[in-house]
Structure 1
Amino acid sequence: MIDLKLLRAEPDVVRESQRSRGADPGVVDQVLEADATHRAALADFEARRAEQKALGKEVAQASGDAKQQLLVRTKQLAAEVKELQASADAAAGRAVELARSLGNIPEPGVPSGGEDDFTVLRHEGSPRDFAAEGVEVQDHLAIGERLRAIDMERGAKVSGARFYFLTGIGARLELAILNAAMGLAQDAGFTPMITPTLVRPETMAGTGFLGAHADEIYFLERDELYLTGTSEVALAGYHTDEILDLSEGPLRYAGWSACYRREAGSAGRDTRGIIRVHQFHKVEMFSYVTAADAAAEHARFLEIQERMLQALELPYRLIDTAAGDLGSSAARKFDCEAWLPSQERWMEVTSTSNCTTYQARRLAIRERGENGTTPVATINGTIGTTRWIVALLENHQQADGTVYVPEILRPHLGGLEYLEPVA
């Protein structure tokens, strides 16, 4: 949730934020109106409550008919106070509900527009010239089936479309990626975490995932629990309603979890193989940091992600995501996209977001400073996921049908330098 003080003081900033996201700036006026109604109702309640307290003192000192008259007035005031409190609470709820519908304020420099309006900041590495090497490019599914690493047919038989089995070297490869990612995160000062994948509605709402893309999330009505699409959700909720001590620096966690996404409406080339599936695994970095240090921490996340991609020897590009594609919580988001040889395009493999104080305000997570408590900032970023198998298989395929294994993964694969097709 954005800072209501900012909304009151600089509503045009929030209106412009809405416009840059492709959202309705008129919501700002609705929030302001609801906020004014709440404050007026609260003032009326407090005035009647003060009168009620003063009258209580008079009753204690009165006697006879005067006391009876005061008691009648006390009863009337009590009913009025109760009614005014209900009105103030309802107005507060309405104001908060509307304020929660506003997306975070994008940082200066974030491109305006939607999904296709990102800015390419730079390229790292060069895609291989497979033709010059005499390699007939295969997509990751064909390679995975040749290695007996991916079984989509039986995944669909057991669970339906977009489910799969990782078998043999496929399972080992995923574990190698995730273990290497967790090791890199731990070396960078992150505490390893295995997180819950079912969370309460207040946790899911607190992270900002129940907005425009709520239909992407699996919900178990009987249990009133959501299946998470990232361990960011559980890690954001970890310190709900707490006051944190950040005097010695950020609190950094790396969450390993299964992730679930409905992928409603997605179609086309991403639905072949394991690019866009309903279940996968991921290691997610997450940090609680002071608002003043959030941008620097965000840059640190990106540096760690790039270190991992470079260790995997993948060509990639870095993009600055446009405001309309940030999601409600992020003020800035950088994506790294690996080259996908079979489709000759870029495919997202990492994302890191600076959510500033947006999530912490919703989840009541603060830090104690010289002038009292203030909301912390939260940063998140992927450092390893199942989808990386796609990029690895395609970029490192060889003419003889083998797949080259980057050095960082070899300790997790018994020293293998190449993955061999299974006859």
Structure 2
Amino acid sequence: MDLKDKKRGATSISKLFVENYLYWTSVGLTSVAYSSFFVTELFSGKNIPAATKLYGICETFYFLSQLIGNPFFGEFSDYFGRKNTFLIILGASSMNWFILSTARTSTIIIISRILHGFCDSNPQTISSYLSDLTKQDDFAKKMGILHGVGGIGMVSGLIIAFFLSWFGFTNQHMFMVSSSVSFLNGLFVYLFLPESKEMTNSKTKFNWARANPVGSIKFIFKNKKFKSLIVILILDIIGGTCSVVLLQFYLQMKYHFSDTKIYVLLFEASIFQIFSMAVLLKLSIKKRGNKQTLVDAFLAQALFNFLSIVLTDGWMFFLIVPLVYQFVAFSVIQSFFRTLVPKDDQGILFGSLQLTANFANAISKYIYPVGFSYTSKRYHFPEAPFIFATLSSILGFIITSKIDEKDYFKRVRKKETLISF
């Protein structure tokens, strides 16, 4: 790549940061409002377990639809380009939040989540875009910075949502604001974000054989080294999903946390996540390597899930330390996979990884809420999902400890390690 292309690549990545920032701002705007919507609007604050169960059902449909959408948009971005993919994704996101701002029935909510789930492939497209423009050694580090920027976006969304709620905005109003941000993000991409695929050898044929869940699964299992990484990825998702799905409901039910307290906790977590992803990840990879960084992330994940069970009300805000560090795992796992796939197949690679992650998410986001909300005269143990998540994290730690980092980072892009389908 000559100097001109390097400068162009740096400019493109900086604009990608803006897209990522706006995407996560829209997520931050709805992070509390979406969960609260089920409790306050649909069940009038009277039945948190029922609200949790419906939330789990909606999110299960969301992630099941992603099982179809992820490989499709992975192959779509390899053939039609990253920019066009971004435009479709952001347009669908804007439409989803607009529909939810007017929704009054569970049927409309589920349909909206299915449509959004099919099109919501922004994280994998960002990974593909960044992969087009970065060297192997820089990918995980820049992904860390990108996640840090996303954390800033999340904080911005939380702050905006907090002040909007302070001035009397309802959850539906938050959805409308998020819809507007997604629309503006799409406009920014259309006007300013260049196409990264122009710097690589574009594909000449859209491969329908792998633009579907079955073909995507065949793609990721074609290389033997993928198998242990797939197990690690699934365990990371199962261990980490519990905090994302249940923490807010758990704190509301057990300690009667108000929305304001939830905002403060998520704000603290986002601030620490910025530092963790933008600074700690880079330092950890440099000093300890990719494998040990992943091991540390699993330990942090297990610690968070365990502490969620034993800590009392006043100590809950200290959960942010292990909560934020566990999120470095996915970036590191992606860097392991990336060494084994040709550059023109990065889109379908990250689409396949996202499919796998969302398969684990779909299971977790149904099992965890159902287990959490289950009550009977003899049995009610809302901490049970956190115990299961702790065991998953420990198993991930054990398997990660046994892989050899040299198998992935010492033979980068040699013919015997590249795969195609």
TM over 0.5: no
- TM-score w.r.t. the length of structure 1 is 0.23
Q: Which has the higher helix share?
A: 2
Q: Which has the higher strand share?
A: 1
Structure possessing the higher radius of gyration over alpha carbons: 1
